[in-house]
Amino acid sequence: MRAISLVLALLAGLLQAGDLKFEKELVELNLKPEATTADGDFEFTNASDHPVTISRVEKTCSCLNAQVKGGKLIYQPGEKGVVRAAFEVGNIVGTVDKTIAIVLEKQENNPIVLTVRAHVPVLVELGQKTLKWTLNGNPDPQKVTIHMKYPKPIRILKAECNSEMFKTELKTIKEGADYELWITPADMKRTTIGLVRLETDCEIERHKIQQVFAVVRADRPGEGAAVR
Amino acid sequence: MKIPLQMAAMVCAALLGAGATYLFHGPPARGVACDPAKLKSDEVCLSRVMGEWHNDVVWVDARSRKEWRELSVTGSVLWNLDTVEDMQAFEAAGAMRMTDGQRVIVFCTNENCGTSRQVAERIRALQFGNEVFVLHGGWRALASAGPDGPPLGKNP
């Protein structure tokens, strides 16, 4: 009976080990269009009654640099600390989640997962990314509306399709702000895909090039009901 | 003296139990367990991809380029969210492979990595019309599947 009590006490000790409480496990970063980096802080407290040691901080992307502020790894009961995550925006546009795992001593298999959610503004908004025509159907022209969401004008310099199977025409609705890209398929008798590349004069590199797909193919049963 | 003896007896009993289980049920399964009833709405089990769909799918590897190069599903498309990568190039390469309407299966390192779900969302947003799923268990499920999984190989 005493042995069982001893085993139970040991197990209880293990379960208690390392009890860091984070104020938030998700930090949202709303970036400015020009931003190339952004920092997010995760504040924590040692809520246990014993010292807690952080063994390591693991990141899931080379774009994320995460470390414990001040390099401090041992925290006494009640002591507070901060994990700082620095996100490099690079070529990402839109919303992206990146995770950090905080691994505590004696809890190697149960890391604390923190998420950095970066919102990188979309400056060139495309009404649609893909235009579709039904195989053997009508080759009616279709359009993609393009709207610039930036205080400075963004002009489209070029619109080129990589396939001769599609004709493209770019219409300027309002210079530097609104455009329409019209695409017309030349052949409806075979499955084709075309990629229209739009080159803009946007001063922020990651928004400079945009692309639209044009596809001629047979209808698919249940199309549009893709799993969500 | 009593305590060590009692502990030794407990260990022996546990070993006997484990031995009997091994004898009757064989070695433990190394693959990733996948219960279709417990899947999230966008997830799929590897057994369904290989069985019901005969591996006639487009595999999308959402891990890092280094991991994809070293070993991945043969013929898979690399599409991750590493900010140094060219996202437009991923879209273009993916689009060229998805025109046939095959189902698309996205995987990342394991069930907790989260990148596969984000990549799946980006693929759906392109509106190619393919059904897009996230592989339950991710790369861990593929790597442990052996002959029950798709062929694996290096990528250029």
> pLDDT tens digit string along B108-142?
987 667 899 999 999 999 998 899 999 999 999 99
CB atoms B41 and A227 under 8 Å? yes
Whether B25 and B46 share a structural domain: no
Examine the domain organization and report whether A133 and A83 are in the same domain: no
On whether the CB atoms of residues B105 and B49 are closer than 8 A, the answer is yes
Question: What is the percent of chain B where pLDDT is above 90?
Answer: 70
| Residue from B39, B37, B43, B77 nearest B57 by CA | B77
Q: Are residues A113 and A145 in the same domain?
A: no
Q: Do A90 and B84 touch (CB under 8 A)?
A: yes
pLDDT digits (tens, 9 = 90+) for A14-57: 444 458 999 999 999 999 999 999 999 999 999 999 999 999 99
- Amino acid occupying residue A140: D
Which structural domain range is residue B21 located in? Answer: 1-30
Residue contact A129–B126, C-beta within 8 A: yes
CB-CB under 8 Å, A113 with B124: no
- Whole-model pTM: value is 0.82
CB contact under 8 A, B87 and A2: no
**Do residues B61 and B1 both lie within one domain?**
no
Q: Are A104 and A53 in contact (CB under 8 A)?
A: yes
Distance CA A157, CA A84 (A): 40
Counting the structural domains of chain A, the total is: 2
Q: Which residue matches tokens 């004898």?
A: B23
Are B6 and B41 within one domain? Answer: no
Q: From A217, which residue of chain B is nearest by alpha-carbon distance?
A: B99
Q: Residue A5: which of B7, B5, B136, B125 has the closest Cα?
A: B7
Last-in-domain residue among A94, A120, A146? A120
Whether residue B80 sits in one domain with residue B17: no
Domain identity same for A77 and A169 = no
Task: Decide if A6 is inside a domain.
Answer: no
**Which has more pLDDT, B156 or A79?**
A79
CATH of the domain at A29: 2.60.40.10
Q: Are residues B143 and B99 in the same domain?
A: yes
The answer as to whether A169 is a domain residue is yes
Whether A228 sits inside 8 A of B133 (CB atoms) is: no
Average pLDDT over residues A117-137: 96
Pair B46, B104 in one domain = yes
Q: Decide: helix, strand or coil at residue B143.
A: helix
Check whether residue B92 and residue B66 sit in a common domain: yes
Query: Is A88 among the domain residues?
Result: yes
Q: How far apart are CA A219 and CA A221, in angstroms?
A: 7
Q: Give yes or no for a contact between A122 and A95, defined as CB atoms under 8 angstroms apart.
A: no
Q: Given pLDDT bands bounded at 50, 70 and 90, which one contains residue B9?
A: confident
A113 and A164, same domain (yes or no): no
> Is there a domain that residue A192 lies in?
yes
User: pLDDT grade, residue B30 (50/70/90)?
Assistant: low
The reply to whether A38 and A85 lie within a common domain is yes
The residue segments making up the domain with residue A104 are 19-120
Instruction: Based on the fold, state whether residues B10 and B56 are members of the same structural domain.
Output: no
Q: Are residues A227 and B81, on separate chains, in Cβ contact within 8 Å?
A: no
**Domain match, A191 and A108 both:** no
| B64, B132: one domain | yes
Q: Which residues of A touch B109 (CB under 8 A)?
A: 60
Q: Do B1 and B41 reside in the same domain of the chain?
A: no
**Quick check: B128 and A92 CB within 8 A?**
no
Query: Residue B110: its pLDDT value, please?
Result: 74
Six-digit token string for B79:
């599409």
Residues A116, A165 share a domain: no
* A91, A175 contact by CB (below 8 A): no
Looking at the 3D structure of chain B, how many domains does it have? 2
Summarised one tens digit per residue, pLDDT across range A162-188 is 999 999 999 999 999 999 999 999 999
Residues in A whose CB is inside 8 Å of some CB of B read 2-4, 6-7, 60-63, 88-94, 96-99, 113, 115, 128-130, 132, 191, 193, 195, 209-211, 213, 215, 217, 220, 223-224, 226-228
d(CA A116, CA A97): 6
Measured distance CA(A148)–CA(A125) in Å, rounded: 6
Task: Verify whether the Cβ–Cβ distance B83 to A128 is below 8 Å.
Answer: no
Specify if A194 maps to a domain. yes
CATH code at position B63: 3.40.250.10
B133 and B97 share one domain: yes
Enter the ipTM. Answer: 0.82
Contact B155, B76 (CB under 8 A): yes
A14 in a structural domain: no
Question: Are B45 and B19 in the same domain?
Answer: no
Are A115 and A144 contained in the same domain?
no
Tell me which residues of chain B have a C-beta less than 8 Å from any C-beta of chain A: 2-3, 6-7, 10, 41-42, 64, 81-88, 91-92, 95-96, 99, 101, 109, 112-115, 118, 122, 124-133
Give B-chain residues touching A115 at CB under 8 angstroms.
114
The answer to whether the CB atoms of A3 and B6 lie below 8 A apart is yes
Q: Which residue among A57, A91, A120 closes a domain?
A: A120
Q: Is B41 within 8 Å of A228 when comparing Cβ atoms? A: yes
The alpha-carbon gap from A69 to the nearest alpha carbon of chain B, in Å, equals 24
Instruction: Verify that A96 and A39 share a domain, yes or no.
Output: yes
Query: Of B84, B97, B85, which Cα lies nearest the Cα of B126?
Result: B97
| Residue ending a domain, choose from A85, A120, A155 | A120
Residues of B whose CB is below 8 A from A211: 88, 91-92
Residue B95 burial (C-beta neighbours within 10 Å; 0-12, 13-18, 19+): buried
Q: Determine contact, residues B47/B39, Cβ cutoff 8 Å.
A: no
Is residue A212 located within the same domain as residue A128?
yes
Specify whether A24 is located in the same domain as A114.
yes
Query: Which chain A residues have a beta carbon less than 8 Å from that of B133?
Result: 227
With respect to residue A11, please indicate whether it lies within any of the assigned structural domains. Answer: no
Query: Is A130 within 8 Å of B6 when comparing Cβ atoms?
Result: no
Tell me: do A107 and A135 sit in the same domain.
no
Continuous segment of H or E residues that includes residue A30: strand A26-30
Contact B73, B61 (CB under 8 A): yes
Report the gap between the CA of A3 and the closest CA in chain B (Å): 5
Question: Which candidate in B5, B64, B104, B128 is best for mutational testing of the A interface (most A CBs within 10 A)?
Answer: B128
Q: How far apart are the C-alpha atoms of B83 and A159, rounded to whole Å?
A: 25
Tell me the per-residue pLDDT of A55-73, one tens digit each, with 9 for 90 and over: 999 988 889 999 999 999 9
